[in-house]
Amino acid sequence: MKAVMRLRVDFKEKNPALVSLFENPGQTIFLDANFLIPPDRTKVGAKPVSFQKYCEIWLDPVFDSFSDLAMHESVYGELVEDHVKRYADVKCQESPPGLKVYSDTDLNAAEAALMQTYISRISPFSKYIPVLKNSDDKGEVLSLPYMASKGFLYFASDDHLPIQLIRKADELGTGLQDM
């Protein structure tokens, strides 16, 4: 017997972020590491998806459709599986780059100070401890403040933490209301 999961899709209201991206696909979209990793659906009885197949049905169409995909250096550092890292490296080396990696060294002094403020607002809701620079939630906790400091709007992730930090920005006081 297979477990059945039901996905609820709201057809009544359009997602303004998706509408904006479809109308202007050249906007910068930051990616979380999990965006590049095939989902593990074996727990619900599905066969695993090979990385090659995942590229064919998901990654290649996304990279072909959106010209300004990016990630923060901390997320890039989370790409540990060889095939995922190689894929990202190839995208970074294309001309023009299919994937840009942004670094904290790109920030000016005011942006760096602003980023630190965002980190102090966000980290209490995560497992990331800034003074320890541990790896738990590091990619999200450093990506979102970088993006907010630079004015980037879109973060593609399938992770509960960044979704809640953005959706509940007012309630949590994260400062990410505009993302």
Q: 104 burial class (0-12, 13-18, 19+ CB within 10 angstroms)? A: middle
Residues 105-133: pLDDT tens digits?
999 999 999 999 999 999 999 998 888 88
| pTM, full prediction | 0.86
Would strands 99-102 and 154-156 be described as parallel, antiparallel, or unpaired? Answer: unpaired
Look up residue 43 and give its amino acid. Answer: K
| Three-class DSSP category at 146 | helix
Residues 19-72: pLDDT tens digits?
888 898 889 999 999 999 988 777 777 788 899 999 999 999 999 999 999 999
Element (H, E) at 177: none
